[in-house]
Amino acid sequence: MNDFDMFAVAWCRTGWTLLLVFTAAVLMVAALRKPMRKAFGAERAFLLWLLPALAMPASLLPHAAATTASLPPIVLKISRLPSVSYTAAAGAHDWRIWGAALWLAGVVIALSLAAYAQRRYRGKLRGAVAYATEAARWPVMRANDSRTGPALIGAWRPQIVVPFDFDAASTAMSAH
């Protein structure tokens, strides 16, 4: 095995570890977000999104090697599966290739759905007009309908979007 092959194997092993850790952390955030919001509020629940960013570098830190006695039986069974050479016959496929293809298809679908939702939301904001406020940190826009907003949008030029009936809704909320 030459130096490039050893580098590629090490990079793939690290990449799979990072991918697995990131996926597990995002799933954990998705499961804990609503209970955390109810218990501690939206701001604290938002901090859960730091978990994937912190879990990835933490997974690369040196750690004690696990003994085979402490591993679940399924891990031992998977690790003992014979690997298929990628230069083997055209019909032979490794299960990891199918796993990677399935994961990649999920990524493409998720990104496509996010882009579609973003395009629809931006379409709803086309006719938004400036909303007069006295001391706002960011510009405030009033949307054309009552279902759009309130939201903080924009990473580089942040804006607050409020629904069309924001004044009536806020007056009704303060009356109760």
Judged against a pLDDT cut of 80, whether residue 58 lies above it is answered with yes
- Ranking 43-47, 55-59, 62-66 by mean pLDDT, the lowest is 62-66
In this prediction, residue 35 carries a pLDDT of 93
Share of the chain above pLDDT 70, in %: 70
The structural domains of the chain, with segments of one domain joined by +, span 1-62, 97-123, 127-176
Continuous segment of H or E residues that includes residue 69: none
Residues paired with 129 in a beta bridge: 142
pLDDT tens across 31-53, in order? 999 999 899 988 888 889 999 99
* Helical spans, DSSP H, in the chain: 3-40, 42-46, 50-59, 73-79, 95-124, 166-175
Query: Can you tell me the distance from the alpha carbon of 102 to that of 90, in angstroms, rounded to the nearest whole number?
Result: 20
Instruction: Enter the pTM of the model.
Output: 0.45
Judged against a pLDDT cut of 80, whether residue 90 lies above it is answered with no
Query: Can you tell me the distance from the alpha carbon of 150 to that of 162, in angstroms, rounded to the nearest whole number?
Result: 4
In this prediction, residue 84 carries a pLDDT of 47
